[in-house]
Amino acid sequence: MDVHRTGMGAPRETKRTQARTRSAYRRYRAFPAPIRSPRMAEVISSDVFTDLGSGIGNVAVQVYANTPMRRVRGIEFVKERHNDAVRHAEEFKRTHQVDKDKEILLVNGDVCKEDWSDSTIVFSSSTCFDDRAMECLRRNCEENPKLRYLVSSRELPPTTLRPLGVFENLDTSWSMKSDVTYWVYSNVPGVKLRDA
């Protein structure tokens, strides 16, 4: 079952913010293909994946399509981007065979106000997050004892989360360059990254 909730409306974007993020949302691609990175996180079907600042749904739909995870969530603050994500997820499900036991939840809301405490894997392309959102990300992840992986495009402020490493020079659908870096953390003892 898919759940599409709406929360807060779109924030007022300044011209600077609009210019900074415009190119990030031009392209959409989602298709059944392996997600590759230099070192991979171990994922299992009981994991709950949440993409904070999910934009037009690229990452959420890719994870939904290419992992065994039964629940995938995307939370996006900007209403227009959220609507695009819902459209892309519906289009993907219409054109590809999907497991009926899997769900993708796309939420239009504030990552600091929505409940994503059941997440075991959190992804955040947090480049445009302000200090309040980064503090919220850090605090909520520290309070989640089940959080196996947090992947953030910005290094967290001082945290009790255990750093696992850095993904460097990644190709993404929202950057023209292969120079995207993500910091990886965990709140679960013994969790580590594995070599691909």
| pLDDT tens by residue, the chain, 196 residues | 334 433 333 333 344 434 444 444 444 444 444 444 445 678 899 999 999 999 999 999 999 998 999 999 999 999 999 999 999 999 999 999 888 899 999 999 999 999 999 999 999 988 888 899 999 999 999 999 999 999 999 999 899 999 999 887 666 555 555 667 889 999 999 998 876 4
Question: Do residues 8 and 113 lie in contact, with contact meaning Cβ atoms separated by under 8 Å?
Answer: yes
List 51's β-bridge partners, or say none. Answer: 74, 123
Range of the domain at 72: 3-10+30-195
* pLDDT for res 169: 67
Q: H or E stretch including 190?
A: none
- Two structure tokens written together for 22: 């415009």
15 in a domain, yes or no? no
Q: Which residue has the tokens 């490493």?
A: 165
Question: For the chain, how many helices (H) and strands (E)?
Answer: 4, 10
DSSP state, 26?
A: S
As a whole number of angstroms, the distance between CA 4 and CA 117 comes to 18
* DSSP character string of 67-119: S--SEEEEEESSHHHHHHHHHHHHHHHHHS---TT-EEEEEES-TTTS--TT-
User: Residues 100, 27: contact at Cβ < 8 Å?
Assistant: no
Q: Which pLDDT score, from 0 to 100, does residue 86 have?
A: 97
Query: Residue 151 domain-assigned?
Result: yes
**In-domain check, residue 18:** no
CA distance 86 to 3: 10
Within-domain flag for 170:
yes
Amino acid at 152: S
Number of folded domains in the chain?
1
The 10 Å CB-count burial string (b at 16+, else e) for 78-93 is: beebbbbbbebbeebb
**Domain harbouring 78, CATH code:** 3.40.50.150
Name 133's Cβ contacts closer than 8 Å, sequence gap at least 6. 111, 112, 126
55 belongs to a structural domain: yes
In a domain, 21, yes or no: no
The pLDDT value given to residue 14? 41
